[in-house]
Each structure stands twice: as C-alpha cells, then as structure tokens.
Amino acid sequence: MAIIGAGIGGLTLAIALRRRGIRAAVYERADELREVGAAVALSANGTRVLHALGLRAPLDAASAVPTELIYRHWREGGRVASFTAGEAYAERFGSPYCGVHRADLQAVLAEACGPQDLHLDHRLVGISTENRGHELEFANGVVAHADLVVGADGVHSTTRRWVADAEPAAYSGTSGFRGLIHREEMPSLPDPDAIQFWMGPGAHVLHYPIGDGSFVNFLAVVDDPATWPGSSWVADVSPDLLREPFTGWHPGVREMIEATSLHKRWALFGQSPLRRWHRDGIVLLGDAAHAMLPHHGQGANQSIEDAATLASLLHRFAPEQALPRYERLRRARTRAVQRSSWVASALLHLPDGPEADERDRRLAAIPDTLQWIHEHDAEAAANACG
C-alpha cells in the first residue's frame, strides 16, 4: 500500500494502519517534514481519533485548550455570542478542543509514524495501472509498486486526476494572512486565552492560543483579491496590504496586525464536491478529496476523520469492499461541512446592518448548530458499517 503525501491526513492514516498491523509506504515530495503556516485548531472529532491512536500525551504537551469560544463585533469588540470551552466542551463532546502549532502536530505524527516507511523527496508524477496493481513514478526517478494507492496529497492533489474528472480547486475570492504573536504584544486584546472570531465588513480575524499559551495564532481573512493570479496558493505581498482592511477595527485586533510584518498571503481554495473518491484501487483522502474553506476549522479534522475511517475499513474488509464503504461514509459528511464553511465565509464578513443582526441572533445557538460536526466519532461510524 502506498500513501502519497505525509501531511496531517497521510501520517494519521499510516499510524492508524500500523496500529492494525497494516504497513504502508508514505511518499512525500518535500525533502524534510516542515509544516508551512502557523497553527491548527483541533476539535473533538479530530482529537478523539488522535487520542485513540495513543497520541494524547504528546498532543496535550504541545497544545493549548481555549477557555471560551467568543464572537465579537469588529469595532466595539462587544461579545456577540460566547460559550464556555475548556472542560465543559470536553465533557459535552467527549474529547477536547485545542490549538497546536502545525510543526508541533506534524512532529507528533511523524514521531508516531517513525522513519522506516517514510520516503521524503519523492514527488509523485505518474501512475500507470498494471495487471497486478499500480506503478508509481516519482520525480527523482524512483519507480515503486503498490496494490492500493491513497492520494493524501492536499488541495492541489496530483493523484486526483487518476480518480475523478474534477475541476481544480476553485479560488474563493478570499485570502488569509497567518501569524503568531506573543500575547504581551497585544495589551488591548480581551481574552487572549479564548478562541475568538472578530467579524467585520469584508474581513474577519480568528485567533486562539497554542502550545503553552504564551503565543496566539491568528488568521486574518479579507475579501481580496477578486481573482487569484497564478497557480501557487501563496503569494508574496507587502505587509501594508494587511493593515488597510483593518483600519478602524478594535485596538486589540490592530495591535495583532501591526505587531507582525506578514508578507505572505494564502489563497483560500475550495474544491467542488467530487462525484467519486476512488477508482481501480486509487483512493483520495483529506484535502485531495474535499478541500474546504477554513472557517469551521475543519480541513485537518476532516482529514483525520477520513484516516480513521479508511484504516478501520481496510482492517475489516478487502479493498474492493472497503473503498465503496469509505466513500459512502465520508462523502456526504464532508460535503455538508464544505457547504457550511462556504456559508460561514459570507456571514463572517457582513457589514453592520439587519443581515449582521440576524446572523448575531443565530450565533446564540452555535454549539447546537455545530454539534453534528464536533460530536462525530469516525471510528465508531466505520465500525458500525456492515
């Protein structure tokens, strides 16, 4: 078995398979595992899987648990809605919510995966299907063989072209700036230990504490540029570009923005739902199957759910029976999360007015609205699949 991509989904799958006695070779195009970007928020549906894989202790050591989830008005900073997180969240959903630096998460996963089956500097460029499986061609000239190939190679997946006749992931018209700031640099920021959304006209900011809580990770999203130039999803820009959309925002947000000199912006892409997730023993997982906007903080969590589901099914069924079950279990759920994150994107950027007032009223029910995402137990769902 070959897994293409040693990101969050690919590594989680390799660990989950190994725990069931199935070994897979993981091929990663990068020559070392270095996560780009800042941090990731893991909700109960993701931490539940990682804990079951025996990663609770290293994950706890590397992550911070936010005290509350708070939505705020962009200028006045008043609480629009707030909910207790911390222990109350863990009790309600059976597992914690936490913020972790991506490099730390990847280190935890890579350590658990071990080096023996990890092949760095292997960029997949071609797959040809043979009588007895697949021949994989890598840019470094290596050729490998596998009966089953899992494309966990991210939003701009190469593997996807052998599975689905899909349009490439579409640019959403929004881009994000990601940064890490020491909490002391933001004296006006209320509740730095909480996970907070600041919602304003044409932009929003999401932040949460990570690691030992001294640093706050933020993602500032703006409705700009209207079209994305080129094929790379990260572009070099002047740090001033980020300041302008947040003029007039609450001092806590401005301190956050002004303390950084971010000169990279990330295009936010979404993939239209794929009609098929597998073909002839090649199957997609994570962003390769369902890239989504990050506004529910679910891309990584859904990749982790995919990995738990696929590993459980491959343990119990032959691949030709496991793959259709995997697609059936995962496609409808991830499609619903994808759709919901597009809706959230527009709602978070409303200007003040009646529509924003209506959104604010609805936010009062957010823990119930999002319950179906956070309460999910991917492994139990796979085990219940006959």
Residue 98's closest CA among 42, 52, 45, 40? Answer: 42
The pair of three-digit structure tokens given for residue 270, joined into one six-digit string:
């979404």
- Interacting stretch for ligand FAD, rule CB under 6 A, among 22-30, 189-197, 248-256, 272-280? 22-30
Is residue 299 a contact residue for ligand FAD (CB under 6 A)?
yes
The one among 3, 27, 45, 329 contacting ligand FAD by CB under 6 A: 27
The one among 66, 96, 154, 192 contacting ligand FAD by CB under 6 A: 154
- Interacting stretch for ligand FAD, rule CB under 6 A, among 1-9, 109-117, 339-347, 377-385? 1-9
Catalytic annotation, pick one of 27, 71, 208, 326: 208
The one among 1, 6, 70, 282 contacting ligand FAD by CB under 6 A: 6
User: Within 268-287, which residues bind ligand FAD (CB under 6 A)?
Assistant: 286-287
Q: Kindly state the smallest distance separating residue 376's Cβ from ligand FAD, in Å.
A: 13
Q: Kindly state the smallest distance separating residue 31's Cβ from ligand FAD, in Å.
A: 10
Q: How far apart are CA 59 and CA 107, in angstroms?
A: 10
The one among 4, 53, 220, 313 contacting ligand FAD by CB under 6 A: 4
Closer to ligand FAD by Cβ: residue 18 or 178: 178
Is residue 303 a contact residue for ligand FAD (CB under 6 A)?
yes
Q: Kindly state the smallest distance separating residue 383's Cβ from ligand FAD, in Å.
A: 23
Q: How many residues bind ligand FAD (CB under 6 A)?
A: 33
Q: Are 356 and 346 in contact (CB under 8 A)?
A: no
Q: How far apart are CA 211 and CA 67, in angstroms?
A: 14
Q: How far apart are CA 167 and CA 201, in angstroms?
A: 30
The one among 300, 308, 337, 350 contacting ligand FAD by CB under 6 A: 300
Q: Are 152 and 286 in contact (CB under 8 A)?
A: yes
Is residue 28 a contact residue for ligand FAD (CB under 6 A)?
yes
The pair of three-digit structure tokens given for residue 35, joined into one six-digit string:
């996560």
Count of alpha carbons within 13 angstroms of residue 217, beta-carbon side: 25
Q: How far apart are CA 225 and CA 228, in angstroms?
A: 6
Is residue 96 a contact residue for ligand FAD (CB under 6 A)?
no
The one among 1, 2, 3, 8 contacting ligand FAD by CB under 6 A: 8
Q: How far apart are CA 175 and CA 226, in angstroms?
A: 9
Q: Helices 86-93 and 44-52, interaxial angle, to 10°?
A: 70
CA torsion sign for 382, 368, 221, 212 is: negative
Residue 269's closest CA among 176, 333, 190? Answer: 176
Is residue 153 a contact residue for ligand FAD (CB under 6 A)?
yes
Biggest CA pair distance of the chain: 65
Is residue 7 a contact residue for ligand FAD (CB under 6 A)?
yes
Query: Could you confirm whether 171 is annotated as catalytic?
Result: no
User: Residues 34-63: x/- map of binding to ligand FAD (CB under 6 A)?
Assistant: ------xx----------------------
Closer to ligand FAD by Cβ: residue 101 or 178: 178
Q: How far apart are CA 120 and CA 385, in angstroms?
A: 35
Is residue 30 a contact residue for ligand FAD (CB under 6 A)?
yes
Count of alpha carbons within 13 angstroms of residue 228, beta-carbon side: 23
Residue 168's closest CA among 220, 122, 88, 232? Answer: 232
Q: Kindly state the smallest distance separating residue 35's Cβ from ligand FAD, in Å.
A: 8
The pair of three-digit structure tokens given for residue 153, joined into one six-digit string:
């190679």
Q: Which residues are catalytic?
A: 208
Judged by the rule CB under 6 A, the positions of this chain that interact with ligand FAD are 4-10, 27-30, 40-41, 123-124, 152-154, 158, 176, 178, 219, 266, 286-288, 294, 297-301, 303
